[in-house]
Structure 1
Amino acid sequence: MSNDHTPAAATIRATLNDVAHAAGVDVSTASRVLRGVQKQRVAEETRQRILDAAKALDYRPNFTARSLRAAKTFTLGIAVPQLDNPVYSQMIIGAERGARERGYSLLIAHIGEGSSDEDAYERLATANRVDGLLITTLDDNSVVLRAARKARVPVVMLNRTVDGIENSVYFESARAARMAMEHLIGLGHTRIAHLSGQLNPSTGVGRFAGYRDALELAGIAIDPSLVEVSGYTIKGGADAMRAVLQRSSAPPTAVFPITLTAAAGAVMAIQQYGLRIPEDLSVITVHDGALAEAMYPPLTTVRMPIDQMGYDGAIGLIDIIEGRRDGVSEALLPLELVVRGSTAAPRPAGR
């Protein structure tokens, strides 16, 4: 008695040869297009024909066979300190897109702040689980950084630079902070609070330097009572904003939190104090996205294309893995001021 649903029938799948035949090209051309390799130029019409054939045949690469042939995993690792932070989720989305375009998968490792499991991250970097690592961390003493320096695979830092790791894709933190501060100073603010990150990572140092430099250039003295370490969380931003408001004899008219999540916390604290944004306090921050647009009022930001950072980091890392280039050598990405409803000129004194 015949059965159309035999295991053999269920496992039949399209091969690269099938895709090449359907598209009318040789196997090597189909392989290059499907792996995103651009060593030889392929006409756009041919490229699209190959992609259409792969989709129609529901082609899925055989990663196991490919890995055995190449002695590689075709997997990138990305290590992030916070999974609930929209900055890192955007970064992961961009990295996954870049990896997928080049035929790689992405393994996500969460390194919580204060994590001490250094061995786990050494194993990730040395046990043939990944071909390369993308790393972003808030702490210069992070266990993952110590592991990365011992890694047997290429490493690219995201969103910062670190001594001992030469490949980085990042934004110039000091310049982002200067752009934010110049916007506030241009509106007439002189008492501007800064909710800073820890001052050991390059991100925290850079943004504080931009805050300081913009004030000095405008001839405004820094008031230490207006600077408070918030870290990079909503709770940290709220606590730091409350501390500034409680101790300032002359309250600020504007605040520059280090990042979007800290800004969300600052907005909560400001509103709990019965203050209005921007009438009583203007708020500007670095990073942008749905959270900034959803807040009331929507936040003015210095936009950084975080997903592009993840994408460029993944593509650069794969190029290093596959020998197309030696490194990405501290690639800088562009910044953009996005003015929304959270910033305005300060109210005249006495009103």
Structure 2
Amino acid sequence: MASPRATLADVAQTAGVDMSTASRVLRGDVSQRVREETRARILKVAEDLAYRPNSLARGLRTARTDTLGIVVPQLDNPVFAAAIRGAEQAAAELGYSLLISHREPGTTATTIAKLSQTNRVDGLLVASLDDDEVLRSDLAAAHVPFVLMNRILPGAPLSVVLDSRAAARRGVEHLVGLGHRRVAHLSGRAQGFNAAQRLEGYREGLEAAGIAFDPVLVATAGYTAEGGARAMAELLPQRPTAVLAATLVSAAGAMSVLHAAGWRIPQDISVAGLHDAPVARLLYPSLTTVMMPTEEMGRVAASLLVRSLAGEHPDPVPPLPPGDLIPRASTGPAPG
């Protein structure tokens, strides 16, 4: 039979202290002084006994669950998968569990209500593709602290975003450096924060190279492979020699259309995308990408949320800068 689970009383008795002292040490409470040798002894005993706090019982006493919720619009998108991974790592380091929920745009209200009320999470990390007013209303009804990821909502106190503008400009600079003058752009969600930032970076990259912006070379792809395929099909009659996609997922969709249409990559057209993931190396040809710190975004957001739950008022963080551009086989010199 399995050994009985160690209790707080077991730790206190073995360490030779009262339960209140053991509890304070194991919670990390420093409001009352405990001798360092006593603290070390309690922690050693807890480790030896494989003691794990009863979070359910503690939650009933304190109305806290030591659980964070994260809401994402897509689970099959490497951007959100990496953000979840970073948030989970930070939460674990800070003594919290992470409850993951996926809802498509338009159903976020139900998700947020469940996480904040039924499941009683202490706070929320939210990445949403919903309109501003819908999201603002949903968050107001949640009645728990929250941090937004990958977007800014006017009036929201804390958001962690990527510098998509700088990333898009870096992608355009790479393509222009290869001699391309007709560079198309597969943009993100219409009216979205990130889409606007990436479009601005795309335009800045063209302007820096002395290339006039041509709106017929921009098509809305969103953040799916299907959207990337549709947008690329719209752009084929414009005969671009290069295309910058808002994400590697939409870039993959664009590449499928190019292959079907008989366009050679990169001999006839170069393709680059924002965000990097192992799948970028598995595409044919392998996809040139601009690395984005999406995992760091999740870590920073979770850390900010835990600090807010502790009563702190953390300052807003600046956009996280992009990483390196990773040149691969999907980009090459402009034809001719």
TM bracket, shorter-chain basis: 0.7 to 0.9
Relative to 1, partners in 2 of residues 1:57 and 1:150: Cα closer, same or farther, differing over 3 Å? Answer: same
Q: In the alignment, residue 135 of structure 1 is paired with which amino acid?
A: V
How far does residue 142 in structure 1 lie from its aligned partner after superposition? 6.9
TM-score by length of 2: 0.86
Give the structure 2 partner of residue 109 of structure 1.
101
Residue 285 of structure 1 is aligned with which of 259, 273, 286?
A: 273
How far does residue 144 in structure 1 lie from its aligned partner after superposition? 4.1
Give the structure 2 partner of residue 166 of structure 1.
157
Relative to 1, partners in 2 of residues 1:84 and 1:220: Cα closer, same or farther, differing over 3 Å? Answer: same
Relative to 1, partners in 2 of residues 1:77 and 1:335: Cα closer, same or farther, differing over 3 Å? Answer: same
Contact kept? 1:139, 1:201, Cα under 8 Å: no
Q: In the alignment, residue 111 of structure 1 is paired with which amino acid?
A: R
1:133-161 CA distances to partner (integer Å, 9 max, x unpaired)? 11111232474442113432111011121
How far does residue 60 in structure 1 lie from its aligned partner after superposition? 2.5
Give the structure 1 partner of residue 313 of structure 2.
326
Give the structure 1 partner of residue 288 of structure 2.
300
Q: Distance in 2 between matches of 1:170 and 1:18?
A: 46
How far does residue 243 in structure 1 lie from its aligned partner after superposition? 1.2
Q: Distance in 2 between matches of 1:23 and 1:281?
A: 70
Contact kept? 1:139, 1:200, Cα under 8 Å: no
Q: Distance in 1 between matches of 2:163 and 2:234?
A: 28
User: Is 1:199 matched with 2:190?
Assistant: yes
SS at match of 2:165: helix
TM-score by length of 1: 0.83
User: Is 1:236 matched with 2:224?
Assistant: no
Greater Cα offset, 60-69 or 193-202: 60-69
Give the structure 2 partner of residue 74 of structure 1.
66
Greater Cα offset, 92-101 or 332-341: 332-341
How far does residue 165 in structure 1 lie from its aligned partner after superposition? 0.8
Contact kept? 1:154, 1:320, Cα under 8 Å: yes
User: Is 1:224 matched with 2:211?
Assistant: no
Contact kept? 1:215, 1:222, Cα under 8 Å: yes
User: Is 1:267 matched with 2:255?
Assistant: yes
Contact kept? 1:169, 1:313, Cα under 8 Å: yes
Give the structure 2 partner of residue 255 of structure 1.
243
How far does residue 119 in structure 1 lie from its aligned partner after superposition? 4.8
Q: Distance in 2 between matches of 1:198 and 1:81?
A: 13
How far does residue 111 in structure 1 lie from its aligned partner after superposition? 2.1
Give the structure 2 partner of residue 92 of structure 1.
84
Contact kept? 1:297, 1:342, Cα under 8 Å: yes
Greater Cα offset, 226-235 or 298-307: 298-307
Residue 118 of structure 1 is aligned with which of 109, 120, 127?
A: 109
Relative to 1, partners in 2 of residues 1:221 and 1:129: Cα closer, same or farther, differing over 3 Å? Answer: same
Q: Distance in 2 between matches of 1:314 and 1:291?
A: 26
Greater Cα offset, 332-341 or 131-140: 332-341
Which residues of structure 1 form unaligned runs of 5+?
none
Relative to 1, partners in 2 of residues 1:221 and 1:148: Cα closer, same or farther, differing over 3 Å? Answer: same
How many residues of Structure 1 are paired with residues of Structure 2 in the alignment? Answer: 324
Which residues of structure 2 form unaligned runs of 5+?
none
How far does residue 298 in structure 1 lie from its aligned partner after superposition? 1.7
Greater Cα offset, 13-22 or 175-184: 13-22
Relative to 1, partners in 2 of residues 1:108 and 1:328: Cα closer, same or farther, differing over 3 Å? Answer: farther
SS at match of 2:295: helix
How far does residue 23 in structure 1 lie from its aligned partner after superposition? 9.6
Relative to 1, partners in 2 of residues 1:315 and 1:20: Cα closer, same or farther, differing over 3 Å? Answer: farther
SS at match of 1:162: coil
1:265-318 CA distances to partner (integer Å, 9 max, x unpaired)? 011111111122212111111111111121122211111121111111111101
Q: In the alignment, residue 71 of structure 1 is paired with which amino acid?
A: A
Aligned identity (percent) is: 46
Q: Calculate the aligned-residue CA RMSD, in Å.
A: 2.9
Contact kept? 1:149, 1:165, Cα under 8 Å: no
